[in-house]
Structure 1
Amino acid sequence: MSIRLMMVDDHPVVRAGLRALLEADAEVEVVADVGSGDEALQALDRLVTTGDGAPDLVLMDLNLGDGIGGIETTRKLRAQHPGVQVLAVTTFDAEADVVGALEAGATGYVLKDAPTEALLDAVREAAAGRSVLAPEVQQLLVRRMAEPRTALSPRETEILEVLATGATNREAAKRLFISESTVKTHLVHLYEKLGVESRTAALRVARERRLIR
């Protein structure tokens, strides 16, 4: 019995290469490949309504350019089609991406530079509903569990990511629809968790620890 896949990646060349690699395995059938989150949700609905049936697994990139990202697409996909598994296949190994994808409902998380056999093994495991994580991701999560007091909250991560673009506290507050004083309060907690005393140091440490991209 073959594993039916849908691929979501905004780079056509990457999709073509990955598709060729996967379809070289007799157990794998790629039923759709799309370049955005919106296309993914539409294609999935179409497969279900036309009688072809939903795929067993969706390979999801996280950075999808314009429109909704891979994490939000995963969240919506899993809510609408809970029987479809999602495997994040991406170049990003930042804590915010890993935790975000898993919390959104991804069954697994692997990196694009994984060896071919490792990727195929991950596809088989995820399609069967079994959790599969790249070794780098496992280490990141173990470190997060070992030091829970230093783990950043989703809001703290959002603030850091906005500040990393060069935004001021006021600009960050506007983008996140919160008050400037709330941003400052979160920064106090951030500095304490990261063991730093400035925004520049906080961003440097966050990048070194792969907390943000």
Structure 2
Amino acid sequence: MRDITELIRIIVAEDMDVLRDHFCKLISQEKDMSIIGRAASGKEVLALVAELGAPDIILMDIEMDVKHDGIMTAQKVLEKHPDTRIVFLTVHEDEETIFSAFDTGAVDYVLKTSSSEAIVQSIRSAHSGVVSVRPEVAYKIKNEFSRIRRNQEALMAATLLLSQMTPSELAILNLLLKDMKIPQIAKERQVELSTIKTQINMILKKFDKKRTKEVTALLRELNVTSFIQNRLGGGS
């Protein structure tokens, strides 16, 4: 008879009965693991944790009752029980889901189509604290860091450029960000249309863009509209 105090205590959370039974059967065959609870929703997970205490591992589907139910549940569990290890089960491989999962403090992310060996090994690795990120996940994380770095570089360049612009150019940018057309801007600024066109051409040249839509899209993406307004003294 196995000594339960030495086993990896696991809660399996999966809303599909067939899959939940499959994962439980798989885990029950392992001599070093014990299932202490089964759940079909995030609410049931929280109820089990409150009743039985924090498990060593929660093998949890990301989407159960609602979208990202598992992610929200993981956040609540880890707030009170930071030593519990979360291993997510999902059919999704998109970057947003992966980053949302790891952002909770989860230690692994396993596709439901993974082999039995891979799922069991993920549980053991999570319990031992030795978690290796699989190549496909590492690739997506690397791409995300590259994207963040590119955005940071673009933000620094745009901020420097904006800090060197004249008040008139900043005012025009601010109006362009409000989707105003050139004639409207000329009327608002009470200047000749040709003057606004000349100033816009200068702005385009500084940003190395051909269209004002490209400039405004960049500024919105980098979220620097408040920086422009602050430089204008909070004006519109």
In the superposition, the TM-score normalised over structure 2's length comes to: 0.59
Which residue number corresponds to residue 44 of structure 1?
A: 49
**Structure 2: how far apart are the matches of 1:134 and 1:41?**
29
Give the gaps of 5 or more residues in structure 1: 49-53, 152-180, 182-186, 194-213
Deviation at 1:132, TM superposition (A): 3.9
CA-to-partner distance for each residue in 1:35-89, whole Å, 9 max, x for gaps?
A: 00011011101002xxxxx311001111113487111111111001112111111
Q: Any conservation in 2 of the 1:36–1:67 contact (CA below 8 Å)?
A: no
Question: What is the aligned partner in structure 2 of residue 26 from structure 1?
Answer: 31
Cα distance in 2, alignment partners of residues 189 and 132 from structure 1: 37
Aligned to 1:77: 77
Tell me which amino acid in the other structure corresponds to 1:8. Answer: A
Paired residue secondary structure (2:47): helix
- Aligned mates of 1:92, 1:9 — CA distance in 2: 14
Q: Which residues in structure 2 correspond to 1:138-157 (within 5 Å)?
A: 138-149=138-149
Matches within 5 A, 1:1-213: 1-48=6-53, 54-66=54-66, 69-149=69-149, 188=217
State whether residues 42 and 65 of structure 2, in contact with CA within 8 Å, keep that contact through their aligned partners in structure 1. Answer: no
Partner of 1:207: none
Structure 2 counterpart of 1:86, one-letter code: I
Deviation at 1:189, TM superposition (A): 5.2
> Which position in structure 2 is the counterpart of 1:211?
none
Larger displacement relative to structure 2 (14-23 or 123-132) = 123-132
Structure 1 residue matching 2:65: 3-state secondary structure:
coil
User: Do the aligned residues in 2 keep the contact of 1:22 with 1:120 (CA within 8 Å)?
Assistant: yes
Distance 2:116 2:133 in 1: 15
1:133 partner SS:
coil
Q: Which amino acid aligns with 1:28?
A: M
The one of the two structures with greater contact order (alpha-carbon pairs below 8 A, sep at least 6) is: 1
CA shift in 2, pair 1:11/1:188, >3 Å: farther
Amino acid at match of 2:95: E
Cα 1:68–1:102 change in 2 (3 A) is closer
> What is the rounded CA distance, in whole Å, between the counterparts of 1:112 and 1:189 in structure 2?
38
Q: Which amino acid aligns with 2:37?
A: A
Distance 1:148 1:57, change over 3 A: same
Residue pair 2:11, 2:37 contacting (<8 A) in 1 also: yes
Which has the larger Rg? 2
Deviation at residue 112 of structure 1 after TM alignment? 1.2
Query: How far has the Cα of 1:113 moved from its partner?
Result: 1.2
Shift of 1:150: 6.2
Distance 1:20 1:145 in 2: 38
Q: Considering only aligned residues, what root-mean-square deviation do their CA atoms show, in Å? A: 2.5
TM-score normalised by length of structure 1: 0.65
Q: Where does structure 2 lack aligned partners over 5 or more consecutive residues?
A: 1-5, 152-177, 179-215, 223-236
**SS at structure 1 position matched to 2:21:** helix
Cα separation, 1, equivalents of 2:61 and 2:48? 16
State the distance in 2 between where 1:81 and 1:128 align.
Answer: 17
- Shift, 1:135, TM fit: 2.9
